Amino acid sequence: MEALPNKAMASKITIYDIAKEANVGIGTVSRVLNNHASVSPGTRQKVLEVAKRLNYQPHTYAQRLARRHSQTISAIIPFFTNYFFIEVLQGVQDRISQLEYDLVLYGVNNVNQVETYLTKAIQRGKVDGILFFSMKLPEKFIPRLKETRIPTVLVDTSSPEFDSISVANAEGAYTATGHLIELGHTLIGMINAPLVSAPAIERLKGYRRALESHGIGFKDELVKYGRSKKQDGFNREAGYEAALDFLKMGEDMPRAFFVASDIQAMGALAAFAEHGLRVPEDVAIVGFDDIELAKHLKLTTMRQPMYQMGDLAIQRLVDRMSSPDMEILHTTFSPTLIIRESCGAVRQKEMVEKNKIEVKHE
């Protein structure tokens, strides 16, 4: 006979464990535990038997929550029309639909709105959980969120006080810049967003560290930001403007660029094309994100798992709902270099292969 888990183990059992054991979706488990009428008697009995066998014990707060569910999760997000956020939100929406929750989006267009939307979100009973994206969480709201015990998960940003899902931005920028150095470039520019967001700050650090670790001096004048502040500077217009600023340098302009986002890289590609520069023959470019358009543009870039980040954020939020006192978890994804044609590596490889063939036939 299988031994029941001890009390310490039982406290770690979540609805994901029950769903796996009962071979049903987590949405089904949630509906059974909340006594929802839309579950068949057979499925209900199977889930309850598994929950009993695993000695699942929902926290007192979770039980109160089950009785007064709003079935709503709020997402406070800057500029959710940005390509990056669209792909993250796809992961959020797909997972949230399985749970039969509603998603309320608060789109932040200026810093003042952050506190307004947080205040709305933490009103008692209004939402069951909060996703907070890419911005710095205001310090004065940290004790309020902890006091209300509303489950909160940070995405693309972090705080020691809350669960977080993020990407190693500095590491990705280091890899992207290092790739250009490996291709023989020693004068490398960066097109960045203004230093008001964690990704912009961390990607600048990675770019600088890559240069310095290869014995290349960092120069402030080789980092351009563009003038468009829309979407914190992560937009096509800002990339276009930054590329124009580089073009004003004439012969002193770098011929290789690390661009802090793919959408900015789109703007840079357009500016260079308008001035007769070919990519990668005249200019090498590496972006960041690997949005869907990057493949069509043949853009070398750092891929971050945007859909997976959104999916995991909801999973972590549901875990926190069912086990409010579980250990705070921080998940950091490492971005992956995706080599396409814009950096010149493919062309360089073809030339090497061609030379090898020519030598072989001599």
In a domain, 125, yes or no: yes
pLDDT digits 0-9 by tens, 47-77: 888 888 888 766 443 444 444 566 789 999 8
In a domain, 62, yes or no: no
pLDDT of residue 351: 53
Task: Locate 94 and state its tokens.
Answer: 């797909």
pLDDT of residue 19: 82
pLDDT digits 0-9 by tens, 344-362: 987 666 554 544 433 332 2
Same domain for 139 and 262?
no
136 Cβ contact partners less than 8 Å away, ≥ 6 residues apart: 157, 198
**CA 317 to each of CA 30, 164, 171, 226: distance values in angstroms, whole numbers, following the listed order:** 13, 10, 26, 36
* 7 vs 86, residue with greater confidence: 86
Same domain for 20 and 161?
no
Helix (H), strand (E) counts: the chain: 15, 12
Does the pLDDT at position 277 exceed 60? Answer: yes
Phi-psi region of 19 (alpha: psi -120 to 50; beta: other; left: phi over 0): alpha
In a domain, 140, yes or no: yes
Query: Which domain, by its residues, includes 51?
Result: 7-57
Same domain for 201 and 291?
yes
In a domain, 90, yes or no: yes
pLDDT of residue 205: 98
In a domain, 223, yes or no: yes
pLDDT of residue 231: 60
Q: What does the angle CA 175 – CA 135 – CA 244 come to, to the nearest 5 degrees?
A: 55
pLDDT of residue 210: 98
Q: How many domains does the chain have?
A: 3
CATH code of the domain in which 277 resides: 3.40.50.2300
In a domain, 1, yes or no: no
pTM > 0.85: yes or no: no
In a domain, 249, yes or no: yes
Same domain for 266 and 276?
yes
Same domain for 316 and 249?
no
Same domain for 285 and 320?
no
Strands 300-303 and 152-155: unpaired
pLDDT of residue 169: 95
Same domain for 101 and 239?
no
pLDDT digits 0-9 by tens, 93-136: 888 887 778 888 888 877 778 888 888 888 756 788 999 998 88
CATH code of the domain in which 22 resides: 1.10.260.40
In a domain, 129, yes or no: yes
Same domain for 204 and 343?
yes
Contact 108, 81 (CB under 8 A): no
